[in-house]
Copies of this chain bind each other. A is one copy, B any other.
Amino acid sequence: MARQNEGNPRTSDKTIGRLSLYRRLLNVLQGEGHRHVFSHQLAGIAGCTAAQVRRDLMAVGYSGSPIHGYEVVRLIESIREFLDAPGGQGVALVGVGNLGKAILAYFTGRRPNLRIVAAFDNDAHKVNRVIHGCHCHAMADLPQVVKKLGIRLAIITVPANAAQEVAEGLSRVGVRGLLNFAPVRLRVPPNVYVEDIDMTMSLEKVAYFARLAGAEKEGKP
């Protein structure tokens, strides 16, 4: 089990995403007093197939019973053991503008296991202040703060033209995972994992396809 907790290299990006989703759905079910759940029920709320749920849950090494399904408490625990680092992981946030502040507010208290432990900005008005419970450091202090706190994860919320330099700086001091909100594709060493969230792109896609649906309804091509 300890080895499995270190991560199975064959577990795909999509499976990890769904495990994270299942856990949140399971927490809701637990809150509603459910003690057991079947793969087809999880599939229904997660929007995938029951076979997919069973394959994903095989990765965490807990199999349910054909009669009672999965025990909710044990399944949450198995996913936790698989996904989470035993002592939790500290996260750095770089760029405390509108978006950075929003992300700080959103994650504060949400995931004790994934806590934003340091924020960084160039703005002298923000440096050495506590913003949404998080100390904001000067960009120049990033290398020593990241090393001192043993930070391996960072959220990038700087403007597009600063993101590549920030990503390189973080990679140099041992950060191995980046959640990037800047609208650029970052070039990073192969041992650094990047996940992009581009809210403007997402909204523009929604706008385009909503318009298309309208045009189709009205008989336009």
Mark A residues whose CB is within 8 Å of B: 3, 6-9, 13, 16-17, 20-21, 24-25, 28, 45-48, 83-85, 89, 91, 98-99, 101-103, 105-107, 110-111, 114, 152-153, 155, 160-161, 175-179, 183-187, 191-195, 197-217, 220-221
Q: Are B211 and A191 in contact (CB under 8 A)?
A: no
Which residues of chain B are near A207, meaning CB under 8 Å? 83-85, 89, 91, 114, 153, 177
Q: Report the bound CA distance from A44 to B193 in whole Å.
A: 19
- A195 and B185 contact, Cβ closer than 8 Å, known pairs A89-B211, A101-B102, A221-B3: no
Known A99-B102, A177-B213; further 18 A-B contacts with Cβ < 8 A: A6-B215, A6-B221, A9-B212, A17-B198, A17-B205, A20-B201, A21-B198, A21-B201, A25-B160, A25-B183, A83-B207, A89-B211, A152-B211, A152-B214, A153-B206, A176-B211, A177-B210, A193-B213
Q: Are B178 and A206 in contact (CB under 8 A)?
A: yes
Q: Are B106 and A209 in contact (CB under 8 A)?
A: no
